[in-house]
Amino acid sequence: MTLSSNNSDDELATVTGELDKLRVRIRHHDYLYYVLDSPEITDSDYDRLYRRLEDLEKQYPDLITPDSPTQRVGGVPAEKFNQVRHSEPMLSLANIFSEQEFVDFDARSRKALGISDELSYVVEPKLDGVAIELVYNEGVLVSGSTRGDGVTGEDVTPNLRTIRTIPLRLVGVGAGLSVVEIRGEIFMTRSDFDALNQERDELGLPSFANPRNATAGSLRQLDPKITAGRGLKFLAHSVGRIDGGLPETHWDLLGYLEEMGIPVNKMHSKWCKGHKETLDHYRSLHDIRPRLPYEIDGAVVKVDSLEFQKQLGFKTRSPRWAVAFKFEPLQAVTRVIRIDIGVGRTGSLTPVAIMEPVQVGGVTVSRATLHNQDEIDRKDIRERDSVLIQRAGDVIPEVVRVLTEFRLPDSRPYRIPDHCPVCQSLAVRLEGQAVKRCQNISCPARLKETIKHFASRNALDIEGLGDKLISLLVDDGLVTSPADLYVLQLSDLMGLPRMAEKSASKLLGSIQRSRVVSADRFLYGLGIPLVGEFVARTLVEALGSVERVMEAEAEEMERIFGIGPEVATSVETFFQESRNRTMIAKLLKAVVIPSQTRDLRNFVEKPLQGKSFVFTGTLSLPRSEAKARVERMGGRVAGSVSSRTDYVVKGEDPGSKLDRASELGIRTISEDQFLELTE
């Protein structure tokens, strides 16, 4: 279209019409992309629409509307935030910490309502973010504010407008309502949080302690451009004033909001009948907590019926119809008593913080690895410091940061010693390596770790050979290498402190039983750096025997699929060392490795041992064949998805099992991936 400077009414009407259409389409695709995570058009088609809108608005600046998708970031930074009074106070929730407290809450609510039937609840994740309120007038976002003290909050409208999951305009019935007040949580995913902190670290800026702090910091920026770059997300969980009628239940209210284009967290929420089902979903949320992309600190349980909610009413600061059912915190503050040095199998010196015991996420923690000197320097962790520690999911605890405000005046930076704490030999940090290593290959600490690994479950599996016993055997000089285990006599063991005949002969029995071992377990048990179970199995399958692996050159191993140059060099170097060769020659005389030409699968652990599969939808191969493939590899097939399911295999037209899987955070794979896995 050619445009003249004197735009005629006709022209303006045509342009306005096109602008409207473009905006509706872009909003629709934004919603599909950002909220539902299922775009219908390609990025370049989207870009074309967006650029067309930008171009038209540039030519007709008077036709720009505040709810246009181009206006997410606009205007000048604020000087300070204005105060906003919420039309209805934003309340908080009463906390409960145990299942019994929930059972009491359920009984109390039913009594107050005078009902003997079971109550229905909605159980939602309690997002650990920042509470906000959005106000829409005639479907257009006019104001967004923080919770503040519950009565008055701060006006952060320009910042909230930059958040892609917040609609600037409501759709459907929402567009026609005079006032809609939505409440919900602004949050940051763990991955966005990690990326932000890494970026800040590189720029020399202080990092944020957790995603909630990062969210609060990002929201309270005077310049909305900064907020825009932080990848904040929004999910609604409740409402303030809404003109027009409401549905009868909270669950339907969530659906009602969804229809207006407002994102709600239905995926991980559940409608539950009675307190038993409610507790079940609470436990499911607790179980999937480490696998959720965002942090939650509990579940929120709400009475589903809005009529019942009205009857139950409010206390001063919180409703009587809902509770926050909290999980154990995953962070805690404690004090480093001292820093110990552990010596690993390869002589690596690993600093470990020994801390005053503290409860974190339901377990007592008193140790945390500090990894290496660089990590200690980066966080400046010192003995006697107060520290914030955290357990992220199932991983070992880590020190997040030091609370320097509590540091003792005479504390000194910590340096890993230059000598091995066990054998006093020199410990050296070679170029390019992160850790210092004890240079004495017969260091007793290294030997103990070598034996421990050799005897472990997935290696030679010698039952009853625990840490204490290994220490005694090494310190007494009875064991100087794994091969010595096989010449131990009853009388040797009986000479050890607190060793009864019964346990001594039991141990000898398990040592004897470990003599017959598959080649891959044997190879893994040697504790070669970088050789885990998978690499050991790959090497044995490709080369056929331990002896062949011992003779192989790095170049030959590198040609094996799955073996990289570092692994190949590590294996070659290990077997070139004459002390290792002598020890292995002795060991090979003591053990029996069944010939590799016989079916290796009889001896190696089956790859899918213990794994549980569920199929949904139509697969191209018959179900019976799919089941046989799983079972051949040691797995099993179940009919329904539970928290114990490992994989859900998705065929054509998958059913509700797929929803259940995503609810529980269970891995779903395509049929092709399944075929590859069970090949």
Q: Which residues are known catalytic residues?
A: 126
Q: Using CB atoms within 10 A of its CB, is residue 265 exposed (0-12), middle (13-18) or buried (19+)?
A: middle
Pairwise CA distance, residues 290 & 296, whole Å? 9
> Taking the complex as a whole, how short is the minimal distance between the CB of residue 277 and ligand IVH, in angstroms?
18
The two structure tokens encoding residue 631 = 């079972």
322 vs 648 by CB, closer to ligand IVH: 322
Under the binding rule (CB under 6 A), the answer on residue 550 touching ligand IVH is no
Measured at the CA of 23, the angle between CA 22 and CA 27, to 5 degrees, comes to 120
Find out whether 22 and 49 touch, Cβ atoms under 8 Å.
yes
**Stretch 142-171 residues interacting with ligand IVH (CB under 6 A):** 147
91 vs 508 by CB, closer to ligand IVH: 91
Question: Residue 618 — φ and ψ, nearest 5°?
Answer: -95, 130
Q: Which residue is nearest to ligand IVH (CB)?
A: 131
Maximum pairwise Cα distance, the chain: 108
106 vs 124 by CB, closer to ligand IVH: 124
**Stretch 590-649 residues interacting with ligand IVH (CB under 6 A):** none
Give the total of residues touching ligand IVH (CB under 6 A): 15
155 vs 383 by CB, closer to ligand IVH: 155
> Taking the complex as a whole, how short is the minimal distance between the CB of residue 126 and ligand IVH, in angstroms?
4
Measured at the CA of 399, the angle between CA 407 and CA 200, to 5 degrees, comes to 90
CB-facing half-sphere around the CA of 534: CA atoms within 13 A? 8
Find out whether 135 and 90 touch, Cβ atoms under 8 Å.
no
> Taking the complex as a whole, how short is the minimal distance between the CB of residue 677 and ligand IVH, in angstroms?
36
Pairwise CA distance, residues 568 & 553, whole Å? 8
Pairwise CA distance, residues 525 & 531, whole Å? 9
With helix as H, strand as E and coil as C, how does 356-396 read?
Answer: EEEEECCEEEEEEECCCHHHHHHHCCCCCCEEEEECCCCCC
Under the binding rule (CB under 6 A), the answer on residue 257 touching ligand IVH is no
215 vs 678 by CB, closer to ligand IVH: 215
Q: Which span (316-324, 400-408, 430-438, 592-600) binds ligand IVH, by CB under 6 A?
A: 316-324
234 vs 674 by CB, closer to ligand IVH: 234
> Taking the complex as a whole, how short is the minimal distance between the CB of residue 515 and ligand IVH, in angstroms?
58
Q: Print burial letters for 451-470: b (CB count within 10 Å at least 16), e (below 16).
A: bbbbbeeebbebeebeeebb
The enclosing H or E element of 465 equals none
Of 109, 210, 238, 348, the residue at the interface with ligand IVH (CB under 6 A) is 238
**Stretch 77-96 residues interacting with ligand IVH (CB under 6 A):** 91-93
The two structure tokens encoding residue 557 = 């191993």
Pairwise CA distance, residues 119 & 103, whole Å? 12
Find out whether 242 and 180 touch, Cβ atoms under 8 Å.
yes
Under the binding rule (CB under 6 A), the answer on residue 124 touching ligand IVH is yes
Tokens 């929730």 found at? 93
Q: Which span (26-34, 120-128, 403-411, 453-461) binds ligand IVH, by CB under 6 A?
A: 120-128
Q: Which span (125-133, 367-375, 385-393, 652-660) binds ligand IVH, by CB under 6 A?
A: 125-133
> Taking the complex as a whole, how short is the minimal distance between the CB of residue 36 and ligand IVH, in angstroms?
19
30 vs 124 by CB, closer to ligand IVH: 124
Pairwise CA distance, residues 441 & 631, whole Å? 44
Q: Which span (27-35, 214-222, 319-327, 650-658) binds ligand IVH, by CB under 6 A?
A: 319-327
140 vs 324 by CB, closer to ligand IVH: 324
The per-residue DSSP string of 133-153 comes to EEEEETTEEEEEEE-TTSSEE
53 vs 300 by CB, closer to ligand IVH: 300
Give CA separation, 156 vs 131, 147, 218, 399, in Å. Answer: 12, 11, 11, 34
> Taking the complex as a whole, how short is the minimal distance between the CB of residue 654 and ligand IVH, in angstroms?
27
Q: Which span (1-9, 119-127, 343-351, 567-575) binds ligand IVH, by CB under 6 A?
A: 119-127
68 vs 284 by CB, closer to ligand IVH: 284
Task: Tell me how crowded residue 318 is: count the other CB atoms within 10 A of its CB.
Answer: 15
**Stretch 185-224 residues interacting with ligand IVH (CB under 6 A):** 185
End-to-end Cα spacing for the chain: 59
131 vs 399 by CB, closer to ligand IVH: 131
Of 131, 332, 519, 536, the residue at the interface with ligand IVH (CB under 6 A) is 131
**E-assigned strand segments in 40-108:** 83-85, 94-96
Under the binding rule (CB under 6 A), the answer on residue 300 touching ligand IVH is yes
**Nearest Cα to Cα of residue 348 among 254, 249, 416, 264:** 416
Task: Tell me how crowded residue 285 is: count the other CB atoms within 10 A of its CB.
Answer: 25
Under the binding rule (CB under 6 A), the answer on residue 324 touching ligand IVH is yes
> Taking the complex as a whole, how short is the minimal distance between the CB of residue 90 and ligand IVH, in angstroms?
7
Under the binding rule (CB under 6 A), the answer on residue 382 touching ligand IVH is no
> Taking the complex as a whole, how short is the minimal distance between the CB of residue 464 and ligand IVH, in angstroms?
49
> Taking the complex as a whole, how short is the minimal distance between the CB of residue 289 and ligand IVH, in angstroms?
14
Pairwise CA distance, residues 133 & 147, whole Å? 7
Task: Tell me how crowded residue 447 is: count the other CB atoms within 10 A of its CB.
Answer: 22
Residue 265: alpha-carbon gap to chain centroid: 18
Phi-psi region of 4 (alpha: psi -120 to 50; beta: other; left: phi over 0): beta
Strands 140-146 and 233-242: unpaired
> Taking the complex as a whole, how short is the minimal distance between the CB of residue 299 and ligand IVH, in angstroms?
8
165 vs 678 by CB, closer to ligand IVH: 165
Identify residue 405 by its one-letter amino acid code. Answer: E
Of 19, 119, 127, 360, the residue at the interface with ligand IVH (CB under 6 A) is 127
> Taking the complex as a whole, how short is the minimal distance between the CB of residue 264 and ligand IVH, in angstroms?
9
Find out whether 161 and 71 touch, Cβ atoms under 8 Å.
yes
Q: Which span (37-45, 122-130, 134-142, 530-538) binds ligand IVH, by CB under 6 A?
A: 122-130
Of 23, 29, 126, 169, the residue at the interface with ligand IVH (CB under 6 A) is 126
Under the binding rule (CB under 6 A), the answer on residue 319 touching ligand IVH is yes
Q: Output Rg (C-alpha) for the chain, integer angstroms.
A: 32
> Taking the complex as a whole, how short is the minimal distance between the CB of residue 192 and ligand IVH, in angstroms?
18
DSSP 8-state secondary structure symbol assigned to residue 229: T
The contact set with ligand IVH (CB under 6 A) reads 91-93, 124, 126-127, 131, 147, 185, 237-238, 300, 319, 322, 324
